[in-house]
Amino acid sequence: MEKKIKIGLIGLGTVGTGVVKVLENFDNIEIKAVAVHNINKPRAVEVKNITDDAFTLVNDPDIDIIVEVMGGCDPTLKLLETAIKNGKHIVTANKELLARHGAYLFDLANEYNKVILYEAAVAGGIPIIMPIKTTMRANNFESVAGILNGTTNYILSKMEEEGLSYEECLKKAQELGYAETNPTSDVEGYDAMYKIATLANITFHKRIDINKIYREGITKITKEDIECANELGYKIKLIGLAKRTKTDEIDVRVHPMLVKKQNMMAKINNALNAVLLKGQPIGEVVFSGPGAGEMPTASSVVGDILVLASEINMMGNILPMTRCNHSELAKQINISETENNYYISITAKNLHGIIGIIGTACGKNNINILSILQKGLSDDHRSAKVIVITEKCLEKDIQNAIKELEAIVQEDEKCIQINNLIRVME
């Protein structure tokens, strides 16, 4: 008779509840115990052996797999470390833990001949980790880019569709449960940063330092930016990007980007996620679907559990293709050395020669202007909105030009104010 695989589930929130529901369909898997923060909290599912001491699970010799969907790094890191040392395989959805401590945990797992699977940690229900590690293994990837956070994609979509402000759309997202009461991790780009770090790690087979990732959220995006982008043939998306440079450095960053409407990424709206891979011999391929939520994320978690369950009684080194077998640190390029096209939103005093001043500042800093548009005067006719689109140039050159423009004064008053700077996706 096939051995029943016993798991210890740490966390019974949205994802953990989904995992319990899905596992009811599989007779060969038994949830032996569940660890939660508050054992008295009402639950949407019934479970046996519930405890508020997660260490009883990682120390239980009968448990084969620890499934961690609690999140955070403390005490999660210590729990998974203990579980691996006690001979248990790991399934996790914890993107922050992997981004911050993945190198240590993967090395530890290899040392103890254990496996860590984490399909749910990057794009929820979208299968992306296993395809990169297995069926697309033959590819030499040039880049990976993604809409990796459903909350910010929902907010930007609603700003475009309904002409609302960022603040109004954030409030709506919170009311619908797409955004937390404290939305910082989503709207400031931390969530997407953790995910692109993991994607870059497995795509380029090098370890990524998240402290060297440039990160910028969506809080400065205005409905005017959305409208101008639309007129110019673009949509604004929060993109996590990792690409190989000509000098074999890795450019990893998260920030809003103007995406051409013809691009597949521009068509990903509301809370959906997408990942775009470019490489040889495959060319371009897009994976899209629900990036979060109870059942989509549970689908990925349970998928990993079943993969391990099918192998767990095998002898030797199981699932070798899923393991981390690289240790080289990536040489990450600083954002100042990257080349991009730029959208610059400027408020300028209605004075003769202002457009010329903008052009001169760009020219002095090796920046060619692709287009420049004046979007009409203010009600008092004292200022005008100017939109500049540049050709590709260095980030450090664009920042120098902005400093020059912002330093220009007239009668002790700024003549030029930079409202927003948004990079354009290639």
* pLDDT beyond 70 at 411: no
Percent of the chain at pLDDT > 90 equals 88
- List helix spans (H) across 264-314: 294-311
State the chain's mean pLDDT as an integer: 95
Residue 70 CA, distance from chain mean position: 18
| β-bridge partners, 50 | 34
105 in Cβ contact with 124 (< 8 Å): no
* Backbone dihedral angles phi then psi of residue 50, each to the nearest 5 degrees: -95, 140
The distance in angstroms from the start CA to the end CA of the chain is 55
133 is catalytic: no
pLDDT at residue 376 in the model = 75
278 in Cβ contact with 146 (< 8 Å): no
Residues 88, 95, 195, 235: which is the catalytic one?
195
- Chain position carrying tokens 């589930």: 9
pLDDT at residue 368 in the model = 97
Q: Are strands 369-377 and 29-35 parallel, antiparallel or unpaired?
A: unpaired
Q: Averaged over 142-171, what is the pLDDT? A: 97
**CB within 8 A of 203, min separation 6: which ones?**
132, 141, 144, 242, 277
pLDDT tens per residue across span 302-361:
999 999 999 997 878 899 999 998 999 999 999 999 999 999 999 998 888 889 999 999
pLDDT band at residue 373 under the 50/70/90 scheme: confident
Q: Averaged over 49-76, what is the pLDDT? A: 97
Separation between Cα atoms, residue 275 and residue 148, nearest integer Å: 8
Closest CA to 139 of 55, 64, 205: 205
Separation between Cα atoms, residue 304 and residue 298, nearest integer Å: 10
pLDDT tens per residue across span 252-288:
999 999 999 999 999 999 999 999 999 999 999 999 9
pLDDT at residue 161 in the model = 96
358 in Cβ contact with 388 (< 8 Å): yes
Q: Are strands 250-260 and 416-424 parallel, antiparallel or unpaired?
A: parallel
* Backbone dihedral angles phi then psi of residue 236, each to the nearest 5 degrees: -105, 125
Angle among Cα 79, 83, 84 to the nearest 5 degrees reads 120
* pLDDT beyond 60 at 1: no
Separation between Cα atoms, residue 47 and residue 13, nearest integer Å: 13
**Two tokens, residue 16:** 């953990």
- List helix spans (H) across 269-367: 294-311, 354-364
pLDDT at residue 379 in the model = 72
Separation between Cα atoms, residue 157 and residue 311, nearest integer Å: 42
pLDDT at residue 384 in the model = 87
68: left (phi over 0), alpha (psi -120 to 50) or beta: beta
pLDDT at residue 2 in the model = 65
pLDDT at residue 313 in the model = 78
pLDDT at residue 377 in the model = 76
Q: Are strands 416-424 and 339-349 parallel, antiparallel or unpaired?
A: antiparallel
pLDDT band at residue 382 under the 50/70/90 scheme: confident
129 in Cβ contact with 300 (< 8 Å): no
* pLDDT beyond 90 at 413: no
185 in Cβ contact with 99 (< 8 Å): no
CA-to-CA dists, residue 266 to 118, 276, 289, angstroms: 27, 12, 14
* pLDDT beyond 80 at 410: no
Report the 10 Å Cβ neighbour count for 36. 20
Give the DSSP letter of residue 220. Answer: T
Rg (CA), the chain: 24
| β-bridge partners, 10 | 35, 68
pLDDT at residue 369 in the model = 96
Q: Averaged over 138-150, what is the pLDDT? A: 97
pLDDT band at residue 412 under the 50/70/90 scheme: low
Q: Are strands 214-215 and 409-410 parallel, antiparallel or unpaired?
A: unpaired
**CB within 8 A of 253, min separation 6: which ones?**
196, 213, 214, 215, 240, 241, 335, 338
Percent of the chain at pLDDT > 70 equals 99
- Predicted TM-score (pTM) above 0.85: yes
Separation between Cα atoms, residue 126 and residue 137, nearest integer Å: 18
pLDDT at residue 74 in the model = 96
Range scoring the smallest mean pLDDT among 31-35, 291-295, 374-378: 374-378
